[in-house]
Structure 1
Amino acid sequence: MEQITNYVKPELLVVAVVLYFIGMGLKSAQAVKDKYIPLILGGAGIVLCAVWVLATCPISTGQEIAMAVFTAIVQGILVAGLSTYINQTIKQLGKNE
């Protein structure tokens, strides 16, 4: 897990926790099939990270816009992956073997 968190901006680690709870809510509500939950979390992660990037970065040139889009996508995918990792870790710790 430390390898993943080295690439995630510290301010966005809370987004991974938020996505974990969103995923648990989707699973318990049975609103969508389980196979779509990671895709939904990835999209939500990108949107939440985009909001953070837009709120914290000056965006005036084309290069800054491209960097903001890139940062939002990469960070969104990373925090979604981190939330899935947290979910799987909790499941595996709960197993009796």
Structure 2
Amino acid sequence: MIKKPLKRFRFMGLLEGSSLLILVFLAMPLKYFFGLPEAVAVVGAIHGFLFVTYCLAIAYMTFVVKWPFLYSVIAVIVAFIPFGNLLFDRRLQKLETV
């Protein structure tokens, strides 16, 4: 497996996962408990951009790098779960050392 694209994908996954955590645990409480809907508007837009970029990275890894299709399915699923990308990153980190 090509290691450099995997490193880039792991970095993108961590960015996307972090943006989800910031959206869920910081921006949404600011909106609903403190009446600041701007927080969700800003963080939501950033997260949306990172999510689309992450999906493009999944497509790149699937079709260009040709990693197993199961990894692509898992990558999509963990994008919707808080802390999911962090757990998936641990699995991918083991692939880098092989």
Do both proteins adopt the same fold according to a TM-score greater than 0.5, normalized to the shorter chain? no
TM-score (norm 2): 0.36
